[in-house]
């Protein structure tokens, strides 16, 4: 029996990133002009993704310029609230995975960056797909010994 009553929260992953994929692509376009003639021109776009979904798209002159602006756009995206670090819906909480979470992992304790543990003040869980349900034994917060694993039915809505 749980010592908590009420809402169960999705736990922040210790290695969470705002985006799990960033692409820089060349975008060709045909410039048509009756005065100066027609020619192909290019620009570039930087696309930020999280869990397979496009979060943000920025455009610039070319790939070289996109590389120069990448760190700036990354920081601005996070500052503007585009980076999200806790669980998204019923998606697996493993970074870079877009699969549905089928295993709910209830945390037993919280750990700080220095490795000290503390009791949970509210119940927290993470969701993992079948492939990522094994969490290993190396970490503290995200290790099999720090979870109670159950079926994830309706866990995203707890």
The beta strands (E) that lie in 17-135 are given as 21-31, 39-50, 53-60, 103-107, 109-111, 117-119, 124-128
Per-residue pLDDT band at 1 (split at 50, 70, 90) = very low
Average confidence (pLDDT) over 59-88: 89
Are the C-beta atoms of residues 96 and 56 closer than 8 Å to each other?
no
pLDDT digits (tens, 9 = 90+) for 91-113: 898 988 889 999 999 999 988 88
Q: Structural domain boundaries of the chain? A: 21-79, 87-157
């Amino acid at each position: 029996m749980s010592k908590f009553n009420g809402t169960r929260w999705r736990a922040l992953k210790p290695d969470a990133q705002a985006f799990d994929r960033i692409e820089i692509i060349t975008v060709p376009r045909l410039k048509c002009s009756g005065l100066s003639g027609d020619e192909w021109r290019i620009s570039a776009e930087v696309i930020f993704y999280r869990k397979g979904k496009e979060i943000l798209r920025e455009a610039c002159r070319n790939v070289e310029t996109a590389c120069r602006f990448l760190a700036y756009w990354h920081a601005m995206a996070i500052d503007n609230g585009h980076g999200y670090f806790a669980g998204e819906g019923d998606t697996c909480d493993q970074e870079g995975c877009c699969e549905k979470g089928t295993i709910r992992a209830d945390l037993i304790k919280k750990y700080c960056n220095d490795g000290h543990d503390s009791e949970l003040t509210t119940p927290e869980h993470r969701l993992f797909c079948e492939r990522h349900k094994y969490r290993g034994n190396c970490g503290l917060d995200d290790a099999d010994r720090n979870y109670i694993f159950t079926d994830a039915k309706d866990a995203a809505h707890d």
